[in-house]
Amino acid sequence: MQKKKSNNVFEKIYMGIIFVFMYAPILTLIVLSFNSSKSRAKWGGFTFNWYIRLFSDSEVLNALANTLIIALIATIVATIIGTVTTVALVGLNRKTRAVIMGVTNIPMINADIVTGISLMLLFRVLHFNTGFFTVLIAHITFNIPYVMLSVMPRMKTISPSVYEAALDLGARPMYAFRKTVLPDLAPAVVSGALMAFTMSIDDFIITYFTKGSGFDTLSTKIYNEVKRGIQPEIYALSAIIFIVVLGLLFASNRMKNVKIKPREMDERKAKGRKVRLIAATAVAMAAIVFLGMLFGGVFSKKSNQVYVYNAGEYIDPEVIEMFEEEYGIEVIYDEFESNEIMYAKVAADNAAYDVLCPSDYMIAKLIQNDMLYEIDLDEFPNAQEYTGPQYFESAQAFDPGNKYAVPYFWGTVGILYNKTMVDEPVTSWDVLWDEKYSGEILMQDSIRDAFMVALARNGFSINSTDPKEIEIATQDLIDQSPLVQAYVVDQVRDKMIGNEAILGVIYSGEAIFTKRENPNLEYVIPDEGSNVWIDAWVITKDARNKENAKLWIDFMCRPDIALMNFEYITYSTPNIAAQEMIEDEDIRTSEVAFPPAETLKRCDTYVYLGEEGDRLYSDAWKKVKSAN
């Protein structure tokens, strides 16, 4: 007895651990969705704000509507095809059936990435315009096996003699099927449909490859935001999705169980419950369709458009609406996660977007590969009047003669430190090699930024391609690695706000935000110099809407628009007029946002290193990473 009891306790603890593992992440997410602080590390009080903001964010809602419409249509079509196929399959002999089942299961068993890429290639070959319909076709494709998998076992339990009995009693084949097979099959069909619906909402990879430009579902939309850190609205949205999917799952399970113990149920009750379930499903579907129609305008393609490809979270969404209203031009707006991904997409189809917003070194690469359209600055009156001439001058480093790019935002890379935790003033990159701070240092997980720190510390050019200098920098980084707490990207700000680290390499724009959350944090550009980066607007060489693209770029240079974007993004704006309009004096005069000219003199922009240079850096980076 005693032994059994202790076993029981063990079992309970074990179960408890499993539940914690499974649900702790989701609970964290739900809790954070009510956290009024933007930081993941700090509880700022309870709020519904993120939910409210979520429902006023038209882009997210559009993506949501797309997701639901795709899921709904794909589910209906896949359910019909899957059910009919299954019914037909049961009539075949076992061998043929096994072969066909195997073939139809391929989209499910296959790695998503393979399915996604092969569908994308197929659409390319067939000259389909990627977008809503290609995503829909892809979703139908991968949903069919899920429906079949759900319907097949049920179909096998249905004795063919029930159908034959109906024929025997004078029913025509369709009537017999409808009256006898379908009612028995219904729970499995509905559960298959729910499964397909869930899979469809869930899918990212296949959607990503088949969606083309200007069309996003929730999953691809959320992914785009990863670059600049996920916004709390997304927590709110994820929490809602989790609850809805959980609900669907319960419904699906109940559907499956409806017929298992009919003896225990009064017949009327059984009937009533079935009717209620079906009604509930129907109402849910209708609600989704209604929601879909509300946002249905997304699909109607107007001729007057501009295709914009920008980094994630890199514009105030209101600005897009204002532009559309003012010019009557529809903006097809997509976001990229990194310059490299943007480059790959533009290299594959130069005309996919009209206007891009890459970083300095990437603009150099685009120019070198003849992928940009040469502009005449006279056509950009706002840019000429309000953008500081010093920024055009800096831009010459990657765009000699200012023939392609109009600066959008800029910033520096520096050290963020907690002034209560360091003894001496931080002025040099050397502090990142101080053993005193072992385990309290955060480095950027990016090749150029990491090497920039090591190169600058040694007094080398941050664009060095001298193998000897790279070797020294590499050794420095390897020596430093035991002291580094982590190589991260956007977690620097959260960890610093939460006092989880003392020193971190960070972008200036993030620094302004972190200071607001934790006043003990200071940002400094070390004396050895650093990177100053510029992101700028460019027009693709084969752009279809060049005139609209020009209007877009100059609109971004209008002081009020530049100000809106500055307040949304908090990186440094090159727009002098906008800078003067900043209300918050601390920020207007902030040396973080607008460092003095002498500091900037110590900073360089990144230059495109060429293919050989790229390889040199990435080989060295591998050495650093494997030394960890």
Contacting residues toward another protein, per CB under 8 A:
93, 159, 161-162, 164-172, 175-176, 179-180, 183-184, 262-263, 267
Compare residues 93 and 420 and give the one whose CB is closer to another protein: 93
Nearer to another protein, 7 or 96 (CB): 96
Structure letter (DSSP) for residue 131: S
Q: Shortest Cβ distance from residue 102 to another protein (Å)?
A: 21
CB 442, CB 521: distance < 8 Å:
no
Taking the C-alpha atoms of residue 619 and residue 611, their distance in angstroms, rounded to an integer, is: 12
Smallest distance, Å, CB 90 to another protein? 16
CB nearer another protein, residue 90 or residue 137: 90
> By C-beta, is 10 or 175 nearer to another protein?
175
Say if residues 253 and 209 touch (Cβ distance below 8 Å).
no
Instruction: Report the residue number, 163 or 333, with the smaller CB distance to another protein.
Output: 163
Q: How far is the CB of 252 from another protein (least distance, A)?
A: 20
Instruction: Count CB atoms within 10 A of the CB of residue 15.
Output: 10
Least CB distance to another protein at residue 104 (A)? 23
Compute the least distance from the CB of residue 167 to another protein, in Å.
Answer: 5
Which CB, 259 or 403, lies closer to another protein? 259
Provide, rounded to whole angstroms, the least separation between the CB of residue 281 and another protein. Answer: 18
Instruction: For residue 614, give the H/E element and its range.
Output: helix 610-627
| DSSP letters spanning 175-217 | HHIIIIIHHHHHHHHHHHHHHHHHHHHH--HHHHHH--SS---
* Residue 269 C-beta: closest distance to another protein, Å: 11
Give the shortest CB-266-to-another protein separation in angstroms.
10
**Which amino acid is it at 187?**
P
User: Are 478 and 624 a contacting pair, CB within 8 Å?
Assistant: yes
3-state secondary structure of 305: strand
Shortest distance, position 275 Cβ to another protein, whole Å: 12
For residues 168 and 340, which CB has a smaller minimum distance to another protein in the complex?
Answer: 168
To another protein, the closest distance from the beta carbon of 186 in angstroms equals: 9
Per-residue tokens: 139: 């979703």
**CB contact at 8 A, 552 and 306:** yes
Helical spans, DSSP H, in 378-519: 381-386, 389-395, 447-457, 467-480, 491-497, 508-517
User: How many CA atoms are closer than 13 Å to the CA of 527, on its beta-carbon side?
Assistant: 6
Q: Nearer to another protein by C-beta: 267 or 423? A: 267
Tell which phi-psi region holds residue 322, choosing left (phi > 0), alpha (psi between -120 and 50) or beta.
alpha
Closer residue to another protein, CB minimum distance, 172 or 419:
172
Least distance CB 334 / another protein (angstroms): 50
Burial degree of 317 (CB within 10 A; 0-12, 13-18, 19+)? middle
Q: CA 70 to CA 332: how far, in whole Å?
A: 19
Q: Which is nearer to another protein, 180 or 548 (CB)?
A: 180
**Number of alpha carbons in the 13 Å side-chain half-sphere of residue 626:** 6
DSSP 456-487: HHTT--TT---HHHHHHHHHHHHHHGGGEEEE
What does the alpha-carbon distance between residue 431 and residue 415 come to, in Å, rounded to a whole number? 9
Task: Compute the least distance from the CB of residue 282 to another protein, in Å.
Answer: 19
- 462/352 Cα distance (integer angstroms): 33
Q: Give the Cβ contact number of residue 247 at 10 Å.
A: 11
CB closer to another protein, 139 vs 154: 154
Which CB sits closer to another protein, 180 or 219?
Answer: 180
